Structure 1
Amino acid sequence: MLNRKSRINVSIGLCKLAALGILVVSSSIYAQQPPPPPGAYDAAPYLGQVRNTYVYGDIWERPNLSSRDRSMITVAVNQALYATNELRLHMGRALENGVTQSELSEIIAHVMWYAGFPTGVNAARVAAEVFAERNLPAIPPGASPRQPPTDPEVEFPEAYPQTPYLRDLLNQVVYAETWRRSELSPRDRSMITVAVGTALYASSEVRYHVGRALSNGVTQDEVSEIITHVTFYSGFPTGVNASRIAAEVFEVRGLPVAAGRFPGAPYLEELIDGLVYGETWTRDQLSARDRSLATIAVTIAGYQSDQLRVHLRRGLDNGVTAQEISELIAQVTLYSGFPTGVNGSRIFAEILQERGMPMPE
């Protein structure tokens, strides 16, 4: 048997080994992080800390999705959001994570149908620059030209009766052609489509494509992880919305649904309680009132109705007056368009009625 002194020495040695292990793992994680563009976080150092600690130190290291899968959905989301600088960075990272040139090319074409032609044009230009920087062929090896089906299967014969040409595009080009191209598997296409639908707050598309993803071999855990991952690129309101919808799809399919506030993406609860409200909202650089004003403005501009309701209530609780919110809606409308302002005004009226408060003058 070991004497007391020997046991103490063994314990100290084990503690040192554990500490060394933590240091090695931590160093390994940070070593894998892509360096940020020079000066990217000079004006917002806390944002740089969030990037290092949460985005790359946590989310990208989670085992539920491979690095390749994460790169694919990140490229897709940045294309959809027209986030050119981030798109350039993540196209390069995708190539390093095993996404091929032809797969990148196909992601661009696929996402274009869900986020609009201008996003595809922009992404194609960025991809050309990334390929040139890496001395890769301008035309991706293995990329095939368009091959329209001669007798396309009509998947949605009753879709869009008021706009039959749109129905033809949906059936003959999107599903009978694009979804069947071999450059990406149905699983890959489903993953990037769920990601883009999440990022764009496109609720009906998220609902349909979560179900399609499950049918195409994407697991329930992978769907949840896609939503969690995308949240850091398109904002927490988009993740909360997609989590709610995914949980409804899981339930309809008889799949187990996690307990908690965000059953479609359970890890969001820890992130929101910790990073969002436990950390960011409590920083003293902005008052709670100012943070409410900023959050209300963003959720108006994003047409994020559910989150707007939450933050209108929170704003009133944090000392923002009804007159100030009314003025904020008008201000934001000039920068995000009248549909967002009309929606914000309607929801704010509901909140005021709910609280028995008079309408602003």
Structure 2
Amino acid sequence: GLSARDRSMITVAVNQALYATYELRLHMERALDNGITQDEIAEIIAHTLWYSGFPTGVNAARVAAEVFAERGLPASPPNTSDRQAPTNPELEFPGAYNQTPYLRDLLNQVLYAETWTREELSPRDRSMITVAVGIALYASSEVRYHVGRALDNGVTQEEIGEVITHVAFYSGFPTAVNAARVIAGVFESKGLPMGDGRFPAAPYLDELITGLVFEETWGREQQLSARDRSLATIAVTLSNYQTDQLRVHLNRGLDNGLTTEEISELIAQVTLYAGFPYGVNASRTFAEVLQERGMPLPDQD
């Protein structure tokens, strides 16, 4: 399992990455109660922004300032070290991004040679944060790389599986399903033992999805029909560009009585709010689903 401290640490990072301001405030307070220091919160914010973007860091810094003030804590964390740019560092990815040299410099000299080596958080903690944020953002390639790094930094298989399950409650089950698939591939490539379940990298996830998601929540048809739940689920997976889960729920939507015309209209509606790249991806995925089922494309009227 994971300690309360570890759960608070990754929850703060994930809510920062998702720009979930209310939840971020709540979990910063909880983190302080669970033994995370001001300096560690400041370092979580600085580390996470490299993976979720500077706007998320700016928002999290503002929230932290409010939480610190409400608790009568110093405005500036008392033991945070000054920035020390490394001299002639060993480069993590010397051949990366030749087409964008400045990005390569940021990656090697600032992120890995500087941020990852700061003592406010251990390499284990940084790995756990990075894996959690990668899961939440559906960043498969980042998850794949950083799970390997996490294992090297002392995070156990069991802890990684628990991170997957914990993050699911904040970023959604599709992100956890994707991460479980990606991480199982990493474990397999390293010859690590796994069970035979649907999600061998995160065994508890299977229990949650089968029991909590499908049997319990999807089973509440008096409150919301299976058809309407499919409508909502397709809309959410579409707007998050979660292609694998979108494909699953397009099929489920058709099984639950949605017509091809209704799904086509849903895609058009959500595209206006999520953006055309999301709509284009959904349209392509839907066409593949219809082809696999031997069904005609929707009428063009």
> What's 1:240 paired with?
177
CA distance in 2, matches of 1:311, 1:190: 32
Aligned to 1:325: 263
Question: Out of 159, 162, 167, which is 2:99 matched to?
Answer: 162
- Cα drift, residue 158 of structure 1: 1.4
Which residue type is aligned with residue 280 of structure 2? V
How many angstroms apart in 2 are the aligned matches of 1:326 and 1:160?
A: 39
Shift of 1:338: 1.0
Q: Select the residue among 275, 286, 306 that pairs with 2:224.
A: 286
TM-fit CA distance, 1:153: 1.4
Inter-partner Cα distance in structure 2 for 1:227 and 1:316: 29
Deviation, 1:160, is 1.2
SS in 1 for 2:201: coil
Q: Distance in 1 between matches of 2:145 and 2:277?
A: 25
Q: Which has the larger radius of gyration?
A: 1
1:264 to partner: Cα distance: 1.3
- Alpha-carbon distance in structure 2 between the residues aligned to 1:158 and 1:338: 34
Letter in 2 for 1:85: Y
Which 4+ stretches in 1 moved above 4 angstroms?
A: none
Q: CA deviation at 1:341?
A: 0.7
CA–CA distance in structure 2, aligned partners of residues 345 and 222 of structure 1: 37
* Count of aligned pairs: 298
TM-score, structure 1 normalization: 0.82
* Structure 2 stretches lacking a partner, 5+ long: none
Aligned partner of 2:164 in structure 1 is: 227
Query: Cα deviations across residues 43-64 of structure 1 (Å, max 9, x unaligned)?
Result: xxxxxxxxxxxxxxxxxxxxx0
d(CA) in 2 for partners of 1:340 and 1:161?
29
2:235 counterpart of 1:297: yes
Residues 295-323 of structure 1: CA distance to partner in whole angstroms, max 9, x if unpaired?
Answer: 00000001001000100000000000011
Alignment partner for residue 352 of structure 1, among 270, 286, 290? 290
Aligned to 2:199: 262
For residues 329-344 of structure 1, the aligned pairs below 5 Å read 329-344=267-282
Higher RCO (C-alpha under 8 Å, 6+ residues apart): 2
Partner of 1:80: 17
The answer to whether 1:150 aligns with 2:87 is yes
Q: Which residue of 2 aligns with 1:196?
A: 133
Number of the residue aligned with 1:275: 212
TM-score normalised by length of structure 2: 0.98
Which residue number corresponds to residue 250 of structure 2?
Answer: 312
User: Which amino acid is the alignment partner of residue 75 of structure 1?
Assistant: V
- Counterpart residue type for residue 214 of structure 2: Y
Task: Report the Cα distance in structure 2 between the residues aligned to 1:196 and 1:129, rounded to whole angstroms.
Answer: 23
Distance, in Å, in 1 between the alignment partners of 2:89 and 2:267 is 47
Q: How many Å apart are 1:165 and its aligned residue? A: 1.0
Residues of 1 paired with 2:184 and 2:296: CA distance? 37
Flag structure 1 segments of 5+ consecutive residues without an equivalent.
Answer: 1-63
Match of 2:49 in 1: 112
Matched position secondary structure for 1:246: helix
Q: What RMSD in Å do the two structures reach over aligned CA positions?
A: 0.6
Please give the alpha-carbon distance, in whole angstroms, between the structure 1 residues aligned to 2:142 and 2:229: 31
State the shift of 1:214 in Å.
0.2
1:129 to 45, 55, 66: 66
Structure 2 counterpart of 1:47: none
Cα distance in structure 2, aligned partners of 1:256 and 1:111: 30
